[in-house]
Amino acid sequence: MVSAGDFRNGLTIELEGEIYTVVEFQHVKPGKGAAFVRTKLKNLKTGGIIEKTFRPTEKLPKAHIERKDMQYLYNDGDLYYFMDSETYDQIALNKDQLGDSLKFVKENDMVKILSHNGLVFGVEPPLFVELEITHTEPGFKGDTATGATKPAVVETGATIQVPLFVEIGDKVKIDTRTGEYLSRV
């Protein structure tokens, strides 16, 4: 059990039978009345965000999220297949369970499968990936304004913004949390 006064960003809790992670929290001490904790909670299964207030002494059960390393194998339309590299067990997840989490993941890459009480609800890609640029417009000489970017498509099909000097065939490092270009490899 964790009290609302001890909330931190990223903490996972159980509330009304659902699993939530704390996105934002704020301890509020009004001039009159009792203090309270204002929070934004993200539902880990549906991705929806709710706002809720708690008394600082209110206790909620802490949700234990299991993260298991698995290899992304392939997809056949609606189902995406993953394999446990220790036991070679395979599981299939549908697109609704994954959302955009595989946007920067290639086949045979390692990911973390998230589950709660044996129920798989999501995939966590690696924090940084290296992908090849498959399509982008050429940068023109003289287009050297500071921070100028252009759209580029990487080998997984996702579109990112890259600097003008990046060309087709270049390998780039991408932050999967934000989808931002970090550097050429």
Cα separation, 104 vs 120, in Å, equals 20
Q: How would residue 133 be classed by pLDDT, with cut points 50, 70 and 90?
A: very high
Domain borders along the chain are: 2-60, 66-124, 128-184
Q: Which two tokens stand for residue 29?
A: 């001490």
Structure tokens at 45: 């299964």
Q: Which CATH architecture has domain 2-60?
A: Roll (2.30)
Angstrom distance (rounded) from CA 130 to CA 28: 43
On whether the 66-124 domain is CATH 1.20.1740.10, my answer is no
Segment 159-181 shows an average pLDDT of 89
Query: What's the whole-number mean pLDDT along residues 20-24?
Result: 87
Neighbours of 96 (CB within 10 A): 9
Q: What is the pLDDT of residue 70?
A: 92
152 in Cβ contact with 133 (< 8 Å): yes
Q: What is the mean pLDDT of residues 121-147?
A: 80
Percent of the chain with pLDDT over 90: 26
- pLDDT tens, residue by residue, 55-101: 988 999 988 888 899 999 998 888 889 998 889 889 888 877 777 78
Reported pTM: 0.71
pLDDT in tens, 96-120: 777 778 888 888 899 998 888 888 8
User: Is the confidence at residue 51, as pLDDT, over 90?
Assistant: yes
Quick one: tokens of 91?
């599981």
Task: Provide mean pLDDT across the span 143-157.
Answer: 80
Q: For residue 70, what are its two tokens?
A: 């698995």
- Among residues 84, 20, 94, 98, the alpha carbon closest in space to that of 52 is found at 20
Tell the CATH superfamily of the 128-184 domain: Nucleic acid-binding proteins (2.40.50.140)
Residue 31's pLDDT is what?
Answer: 86
DSSP 63-102: P--EEEEEEEEEE-SSEEEEEETTT--EEEEEHHHHTTTT
> Do the first three CATH levels of 66-124 and 128-184 match, i.e. the same topology?
yes
Question: Could you give the percent of the chain with pLDDT greater than 70?
Answer: 96
Report CA-CA distances (Å) from 169 to 31, 133, 162, 172. Answer: 61, 5, 13, 9
